[in-house]
Structure 1
């Protein structure tokens, strides 16, 4: 965690000593190496050296070109729900990142009951399974094997590949790329010099570019981002969305509360790719964010860290501690019991994706997906 934080401070220019500049030069060299690897891997599939598996139903990829924090998982939820509303059965395939079964195949939920714990499935896959009650969720690093299992077990109308824009094992029929409007192209550099997974020109492969958190930037900046995206991909459908807060609930309980944070002193806790956007959402709800704990993406919480959070909250005299849906699945049940004995509530903020464009524009996505069935 300390190394990742240091490197992030170097690439964002927060650290500027001679040593830091040397590290930056090394990272720049490694970024060129990384770009070569990305190009070679893509060409291996283009030239037929490696083979992509074609599945018998339409495959939708939901991905991004930057590391973490775009809001990809809520977009996957929205997509599955929209398909279900129109009488289509989908199956979601997630890698199961940082889960105990990450390198294996597993069914997190069969659409009726949850079959794997968050520790085994990984935080994102478990969160999807917990909120989509009739959509099967599978995990598997090898997407082709997971896809075949999905077809055998569930006979879906669509398969949704979560985080697959840079994966080529399975042929996709539709690429939806999620772009964070508050930080669309990071600092413009590839990993590890920056946060880009591949060059921005790769956006030309997308069928749909979905801008998240568009409400957190000015209309002028949003216009510039759209113009930039159009330059890379004139044909893609562009949809603007926001992260809509939907509820608060105490951790470990299913008692939902109204979103009334006006004037409340809040300690924000998150282990996600873009903590600033989460904290801004709290401020937009009227909360006074008096302090914050930011952990690395997919962080697993320890008892000592939880106790430290409550100690600081008590010293700051906060009214609530608030975290994200993604973080809460990374807190084991023993810690949940300990948390509920504390005097300060630790609450979870529910988030859904809300499309800001007109209904006609929003319906275009479904029309395009339905066209894949013909």
Structure 2
């Protein structure tokens, strides 16, 4: 984890030095961010409404918090209701030959970005990337999409939206509560109350407080049932894979280039794996074979699905990834995710 992230989320002692130095930049960021939202609100900056409903899945901070599993869950549920769904994404870090760019089976992670490629490979639905999400939506409409999910599009106010879901990391929450760069937030926590539905990923004491702050809240857990070999695509039941390694008294190695790598390592240990080497990289790390040379080839190397799409071209026999799915609990007010999906589906009719 980078030092600045330790300052944001773990209260590292360096906060006493870094935060005061960064606060002037945070003030500038706050003024620009607030001014931009006001400009869109009063029409000084133009926002565009496309001809089909747009559902935004986003967060108010930086880093991973479960947006991609939520997007895949929505795709699955809305497709089951007979709707043709498309996903538009900025395609962070992508180097496509042109934009808007439609992700295809021939696309690489370098061209499409890791998360858009993952979404396409898992769902098979149309996925279009580009900084101009309005043009991306128009491309999806040309492809026959009846409803569009804007992945990580909360702050893209140029594109009007019909429904907003904000995902919150139940463990890290909002860090030190400051805006960038002194803190991890793109917008203040007041923004949460304006969302149509807030999804809390993982166990969190904030859940009880959140129910008094937001009109609709859902509780999500990430669940895995199998591991998949990166090189061959062969999947093995997680319990079978785990038993095989336990019988041999073999530890596994792991790495993750996501917003919170430790969350992935904790998940592996929760499932019963014993980690020998566990290494975290920055989010959206563009991996090369050299990055993984420290890991021995005779030991299973576990990674996230998002990292696997970037390692496919140099995968080894011992490369495995752990696909996860969003699972929503049904106690308290958590049935609101079903209500939210029904409302979204009605927008398309």
TM-score by length of 2: 0.91
Q: Are residue 52 (structure 1) and residue 47 (structure 2) matched?
A: yes
How far residue 22 of structure 1 moved from its aligned partner, in angstroms, is 3.4
Q: Out of 110, 115, 118, which is 1:119 matched to? A: 110
Distance 2:152 2:184 in 1: 15
Distance 1:330 1:252 in 2: 12
Q: Are residue 251 (structure 1) and residue 230 (structure 2) matched?
A: yes
For residue 239 of structure 1, give the secondary structure of its aligned residue in structure 2: strand
- Contact 2:305 2:323 (C-alpha < 8 Å) held by counterparts: yes
Q: Out of 275, 286, 295, which is 1:309 matched to? A: 295
- Contact 2:230 2:312 (C-alpha < 8 Å) held by counterparts: no
Q: Out of 150, 158, 182, which is 1:193 matched to? A: 182
Distance 1:332 1:320 in 2: 15
Q: Are residue 91 (structure 1) and residue 86 (structure 2) matched?
A: yes
Once the two structures are superposed, the pairs formed by residues 176-255 of structure 1 within 5 Å of their partners are 176-214=165-203, 217=204, 221=205, 225-233=206-214, 235=215, 237-255=216-234
For residue 329 of structure 1, give the secondary structure of its aligned residue in structure 2: helix
- Contact 1:211 1:240 (C-alpha < 8 Å) held by counterparts: yes
Once the two structures are superposed, the pairs formed by residues 1-374 of structure 1 within 5 Å of their partners are 5-11=2-8, 12-16=10-14, 21-101=16-96, 104-109=99-104, 114-133=105-124, 135-152=125-142, 154-214=143-203, 217=204, 221=205, 225-233=206-214, 235=215, 237-260=216-239, 261=242, 263=246, 265-310=251-296, 319-331=299-311, 333=313, 335-336=314-315, 339-340=316-317, 345-357=318-330, 361-374=336-349
How far residue 365 of structure 1 moved from its aligned partner, in angstroms, is 2.0
For residue 227 of structure 1, give the secondary structure of its aligned residue in structure 2: helix
Distance 1:265 1:248 in 2: 15
- Contact 1:269 1:322 (C-alpha < 8 Å) held by counterparts: yes
How far residue 361 of structure 1 moved from its aligned partner, in angstroms, is 4.3
- Contact 1:204 1:232 (C-alpha < 8 Å) held by counterparts: yes
What do the CA deviations read for 1:336-367 (whole angstroms, capped 9, x no partner)?
Answer: 2xx23xxxx22111111111126954421222
Size of the aligned set, in residue pairs, is 339
> Quick one: structure 1 residues 265 and 240, their matched pair in 2 at CA, closer, same or farther if it must change by over 3 Å?
same
> Quick one: structure 1 residues 227 and 103, their matched pair in 2 at CA, closer, same or farther if it must change by over 3 Å?
farther
- Contact 1:93 1:137 (C-alpha < 8 Å) held by counterparts: yes
For residue 32 of structure 1, give the secondary structure of its aligned residue in structure 2: helix
> Quick one: structure 1 residues 46 and 362, their matched pair in 2 at CA, closer, same or farther if it must change by over 3 Å?
closer
Structure 1 runs of 4+ aligned residues shifted over 6 Å read: none
Distance 2:251 2:312 in 1: 26
> Quick one: structure 1 residues 373 and 10, their matched pair in 2 at CA, closer, same or farther if it must change by over 3 Å?
closer
For residue 323 of structure 2, give the secondary structure of its aligned residue in structure 1: strand
For residue 190 of structure 2, give the secondary structure of its aligned residue in structure 1: helix
For residue 92 of structure 2, give the secondary structure of its aligned residue in structure 1: coil
Distance 2:24 2:213 in 1: 26
What do the CA deviations read for 1:214-244 (whole angstroms, capped 9, x no partner)?
Answer: 3xx5xxx2xxx123323432x2x21111100
- Contact 1:102 1:141 (C-alpha < 8 Å) held by counterparts: no
- Contact 1:268 1:292 (C-alpha < 8 Å) held by counterparts: yes
> Quick one: structure 1 residues 258 and 272, their matched pair in 2 at CA, closer, same or farther if it must change by over 3 Å?
same
List alignment gaps of at least 5 residues for structure 2.
Answer: none
List alignment gaps of at least 5 residues for structure 1.
Answer: none
- Contact 1:138 1:146 (C-alpha < 8 Å) held by counterparts: yes
